[in-house]
Chain A
Amino acid sequence: MYSGKIRQILLLTDGCSNQGENPIAIAALAREEGITVNVIGVMEHDVIDEQGMKEIENIAMSGGGVSQIVYAQQLSQTVQMVTRKAMTQTIQGVVNKELQQILGRSKTMEDLPPEKRGEVMEVVDELGETIDLEVLILVDTSASMKQKLPTVKEALLDLSLSLNARTGNNTFSVYVFPGKKSDVEMVLDWTPKLQSLTSIFSQLTTGGITPTGPAIRAALSSFNQKRSLRSMLSHDDESFLEESI
C-alpha cells in the first residue's frame, strides 16, 4: 500500500498575528508543499476577538486543514480530535484521487452508492492507523498565552498518548513564537517522544508580539530540511502521498 507520510502543522494561538508576513498566504504555500495547517484558537472565559477568530479560520482554510476555537479546559480532547480529523481528510483526499484515476472524471467517494462507500472507508481507516505522521507544533507564547501554557503542555502530552496508540510511526517537533532571541525558536527537534516536552515547557518565557506568519514559514523550512536530509541519506522514490496532495 502507500508508503507515504502525513505532514501537519498544528498551530496553537489565542489571537491575531501582528508581525511579519501574512500567515494566510504562508499557510496556502504550505498546502502547495503537501503540508496541512491546522489551527486551534485557545480561549479564556471571555470570547476571542472577532478578527482573531476570522484569521484562525482563514489560516486553516487556506492551509487545507481544520480549525477549532476552544476553551482552555477542553483543549486536550480538541487537539487530538483536530489532528485525527485532518489526518482522515488528507487520506480521503488521496483516496479520492485514486478513485478518480480508476473511475474517471470527477468521481469522489460521495458519488459512490452508500454500500461501496463503506469499503472505501475501511481503506481510509486502515491508512489512518498505519500511516506515518509528522506533526510540527507551533505554540504562540505571546504574553496573553502565559496562563494557558500548562494546559497546552497537558494537551500535547495527551496528543502523543493518542497518536502513539497507532501502529504507524509519529515524529514531533515543537516551535514557539516569539522566541527568546528571534521571532521563532525551536524548542524540540524532530523526535518520536513528545514527552521530553515536560521539562522544556516550564522554562518558557512569554513575550509581546505574535509573528504567526514567520512562524509558519519556519515550520515549512524545518519540514524541507528534514525532507532533503532524508533524500540525501536514501534515494528512495518520493512517496505517493507527498506527490499527490
Chain B
Amino acid sequence: MMMNHSWKSQFKLNPGTIVKGIWHKNQYTILKELGFGANGIVYLAKSEKTQVALKMSDNGMSITSEVNVLKSFAKVQGSALGPSLLDVDDWQSSQGKISFYVMEYIEGPDLLTFIQQNGKVWTPVLFLQLLNDLQKLHENGWVFGDLKPENLIVTGPPPRIRCIDVGGTTISGRAIKEFTEFYDRGYWGLGSRKAEPSYDLFAVGMMMIHTAYPKRFNKTSGGIAQIMEEVRKKAELLPYEGVILKSLKGQYIRANEMREDLLSLVIKRETDNSSKKTVDRKDSGNQSHSNQGLTRQNYKKKRKKGRFKETILLFIFIAIFYGIYIFFFTS
C-alpha cells in the first residue's frame, strides 16, 4: 500500500527515541526530523559521537532499493555525489518491525537557496561540479533520474554540490523510476523516459533555467519553443542559451560535453571582462557578492552615460568654436 498519513503520524519519532537494529545491533538516538517524502521519513540521529541521517519507511522494498543504489554509488571512484551508506537494518518498534538505513548526514542549503544567499557567481561553479559527478555516475552505468534543486545540497566550505534522495537512480537503458515533471523531458514532449545520460542532462538544463525562475513556470504549449522563449526573457540566462538549448534537444550524449561547453563559456566571459576588471572590483568593493552581476550592469550603464556626456560636450565645444570662427572670419 502507499504511504498514508496514518503511517506518518504513527512513526513520528520523538527526539530522544532510541532506534536499535535487530541484525547489526547498532544504536541510534533520534535528534529531529529532517524531512519526509513519498518514500519515508528521514531523521537526524546520533550514533556514538557522529551525526547521521536515518531513513525509515513502511515500504521495506523502497528501503532495499535505495540501499542498492547507495551501495553502487560507493563503487563510483572519485565521486562524492550521493551520501555514503553506513548501515541497513530493521527496528522492532512498539508498532511493529520497520526497515531503515543510515547514511552520511549532508548538511547545507539546497542549490537554489545557496545561490540566493551567496550570489549567482556560484551558478556555473556548482553546475560544473554536478556535471563532473554525473559523468562518473553515467560511466558506471547509472542515470540519476530525479534530478531537481531540492535534491541537491551545497555543503562546505569549500562549497561542494551533493545529492540526497537517490530513489530515482536507474540502471542505464531501463525505464526511469522516479521523476519530477518540470525536469522531465517526457512531460515537455521532448523525449522518452528511458534512462540515458541525456535524460539527466535535460534536467540539468531545466535546473539552470530554474535558477532564473525561482517559482518555475507552467507548461502551456510545451515543447522547445515555450521553454526557450522563457529563457530569452531572462538576461542572466542569455549567456547560457546555447548550452541550455543543446541539453534540451538531447544533443549532449555525455555529461562531459556539456561541461566543456559550459566551461569554455565561463572562460570566454572572463577574458571578455578582464579589461574592466580593476574598475569593476573597486566599484563593487563594498557590495555583497549577491549583486555583483547587477553592479557590473550598472557600471556599464554609468559608463555609457559618461560617454554620452562627453559627446555632447565635444559637440557644444565645436559649435562654439565654429561660431567664433564664423564671427571673426566672415565679418
Contact = CB atoms under 8 A, between A and B. Distances in A.
B64 A114 contact: yes
B64 A118 contact: yes
B186 A114 contact: no
A171 interface: no
A165 B192 contact: yes
Contacts of A121: 61, 64-65, 68
A92 interface: yes
A120 B64 CA distance: 9
Contacts of A117: 60, 64
A162 interface: yes
Interface stretch (B174-182, B244-252, B322-330): B174-182
A114 B23 CA distance: 8
Contact of B61 (A88, A115, A166): A88
A121 B64 CA distance: 7
B174 A167 contact: yes
B176 A165 contact: yes
A185 interface: no
Interface string A58-74: 00010000111000000
Contacts of A124: 61
Interface in A68-108: 68, 76-77, 81-82, 84-85, 88, 92
Interface string B45-78: 0000000000000001100110110010000000
A113 B88 CA distance: 9
B65 A68 contact: no
B193 A165 contact: yes
Contacts of B71: 118
Interface string A150-191: 000000001001111111000000000000000000000000
A129 interface: yes
Given A114-B23, A129-B175, A164 B2 contact: no
A158 B186 contact: yes
Interface size band for A: 20 to 34
A29 B88 CA distance: 39
B192 A164 contact: yes
B186 A162 contact: yes
Nearest to B66: A121
A114 B193 CA distance: 30
A50 interface: no
A85 B177 CA distance: 10
Q: Give chain B's interface secondary structure class.
A: mixed
A113 B23 contact: yes
B32 interface: no
Interface in B170-205: 171, 173-177, 181, 186-187, 192-195
B104 interface: no
Nearest to B68: A118
Nearest to A81: B38
B61 A92 contact: yes
A66 B174 contact: no
A109 B60 contact: yes
Interface in B73-92: 88-90
B174 A166 contact: yes
A77 B61 contact: no
Contacts of B186: 158, 161-162, 165
A125 B175 contact: no
A125 B65 contact: yes
Nearest to B100: A114
A110 interface: yes
B90 A114 contact: yes
A129 B90 CA distance: 28
> 3 shortest A-B CB distances, which residue pairs?
A165-B175, A165-B193, A114-B88
Given A84-B177, A129-B175, 7 more contacts: A88-B61, A109-B60, A114-B90, A115-B88, A124-B61, A125-B171, A166-B175
29 contacts: A67-B1, A76-B181, A76-B187, A77-B181, A81-B38, A82-B2, A85-B2, A88-B61, A92-B61, A109-B61, A110-B60, A110-B99, A114-B88, A114-B90, A117-B60, A118-B68, A121-B64, A121-B68, A124-B61, A129-B175, A161-B193, A162-B175, A164-B192, A165-B174, A165-B192, A165-B193, A165-B195, A166-B175, A167-B175
